[in-house]
Amino acid sequence: MVWLRSGIVLAPSGGALGRMLPLLRLGLGGPLGGGRQWWSWITLADEVAVIRHVIDANVRGPVNAVAPEPTTNRELTRALARALSRPAGLAVPRFALRLAVGQFADDLTASQRVVPAVLNRTGFTWTHAGPEAAARWVAGRPASGA
């Protein structure tokens, strides 16, 4: 049996960034809260691949479904803004975040630096290992050098 523990799932349609992406696309977004909180994230494409991997590799026990490069909210927001060719200077204060998304604000401003030790040990291959690759995928941009 596997216990899959997913990080913040990023997707072109929004995923966990559902309310943040439209603002970033308009150039009105920025880091959430202080922006220094660690975000352990994964793209939807890699999340699906992780599920297939744990089945095929016959993995057992807890598995952290997160990218191998945890990053701060500020760093991920900047990567997304670069991929969208938009600025990301407007930080969203915690109280405004609380008004917009309610108690989910606590999850968005919490800090967790999680690593995918089991996935690394069992040979999982990432499509979007770093924040830049993930941001380009979310923005619908080709990978660097493509």
Q: Please give the domain boundaries of the chain with CATH numbers for all domains.
A: 2-129 (3.40.50.720)
Residue 133 has a CB neighbour count (10 Å cut-off) of 20
pLDDT of residue 144: 63
- pTM for the whole structure: 0.88
pLDDT of residue 33: 87
Instruction: Find all residues with CB under 8 Å of 43, minimum gap 6, and list them.
Output: 9, 10, 11, 67, 127, 128, 134, 137, 138
Supply the angle between the helices 73-84 and 131-139 in degrees, to the nearest 10.
40
Per run of 10 residues, the mean pLDDT along the chain (length 146 residues) is 94 80 86 91 97 95 96 95 91 84 83 95 96 95 65
Size of the chain in residues: 146
pLDDT of residue 145: 52
